[in-house]
């Protein structure tokens, strides 16, 4: 006896989560985020992740919201879950680097930005962040190498770096 696809799904409903449910919660989260309701977006993403705990899109979005909301440790956990399943995701490494940086874990942030640059050598934001952190950690040769790469890519970057670089250098310690 042949079953229709919906019957097969319903006969296994305890183990199969319809993708539409996860997507619906993720879309709801995006809508709440656009409306400025970050707590509502995080709640919707929590529901999506309850159905599919390894959903990369939901983890990335929730991690970004945790970071924006001032919860970098929670952001690190979500980005790390993404990277545990997909170690070739430069966006997850970059955002986790920002979260580590917010926590003051500068060496971990440098490691994440370095990984981004291995995956995407043209990622200017990762190069800027890493160069500044190298400066903070008094790794001058590495910082200068990154700054040289940045200025070769876009000479306008030199002016921006000159304006705030010394302030950052004096404020941070590795």
Task: Give pLDDT tens digits for 108-146.
Answer: 999 999 999 999 998 999 998 999 899 888 898 998 899
At 18-40, the pLDDT tens digits run 667 888 898 898 899 899 999 99
* CATH code of residue 9: 1.25.40.10
How many separate domains does the chain show? 1
Q: What are phi and psi of 114, to 5 degrees?
A: -65, -40
Residues spanned by the domain of 14? 1-88
Q: Would you say residue 33 lies in a domain?
A: yes
Number of other residues whose CB lies within 10 A of the CB of residue 170: 9
Q: What pTM, to 2 d.p., does this model score?
A: 0.80
Q: In this structure, is residue 164 part of a structural domain?
A: no
In a domain, 27, yes or no: yes
Q: What is the pLDDT of residue 170?
A: 54
Report helix, strand or coil for 114.
helix
Is the pLDDT score of 82 beyond 80? yes
Q: Is residue 151 part of a domain?
A: no
Cα–Cα distance list, 148 to 26, 94, 145 (Å)? 41, 21, 5
Q: Does some domain include residue 126?
A: no
Inside any domain, residue 109 = no
Token pair in block for residue 9: 């799904």
* Measured distance CA(117)–CA(139) in Å, rounded: 18
In whole angstroms, give the CA distance from residue 25 to residue 45: 6
Q: What is the dihedral of CA 8, 10, 11, 13, to 10 degrees?
A: 120
Residue 49 in domain: yes
Tell me: pLDDT of 14 over 60: no
């Amino acid at each position: 006896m042949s079953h229709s696809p919906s019957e097969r799904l319903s006969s296994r409903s305890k183990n199969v989560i319809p993708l539409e449910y996860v997507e619906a919660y993720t879309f709801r989260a995006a809508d709440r985020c656009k409306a400025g309701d970050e707590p509502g977006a995080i709640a919707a993403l929590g529901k999506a992740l309850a159905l599919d705990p390894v959903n990369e899109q939901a983890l990335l979005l929730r991690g970004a919201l945790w970071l924006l909301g001032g919860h970098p440790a929670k952001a690190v956990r979500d980005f790390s879950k993404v990277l545990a399943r997909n170690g070739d995701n430069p966006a997850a490494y970059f955002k986790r680097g920002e979260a580590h940086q917010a926590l003051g874990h500068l060496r971990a942030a440098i490691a994440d930005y370095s990984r981004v640059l291995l995956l995407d050598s043209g990622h200017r934001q990762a190069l800027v962040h890493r160069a500044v952190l190298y400066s903070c950690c008094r790794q001058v040769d590495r910082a200068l190498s990154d700054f040289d790469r940045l200025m070769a890519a876009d000479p306008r970057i030199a002016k921006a770096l000159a304006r705030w670089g010394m302030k950052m250098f004096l404020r941070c310690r590795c």
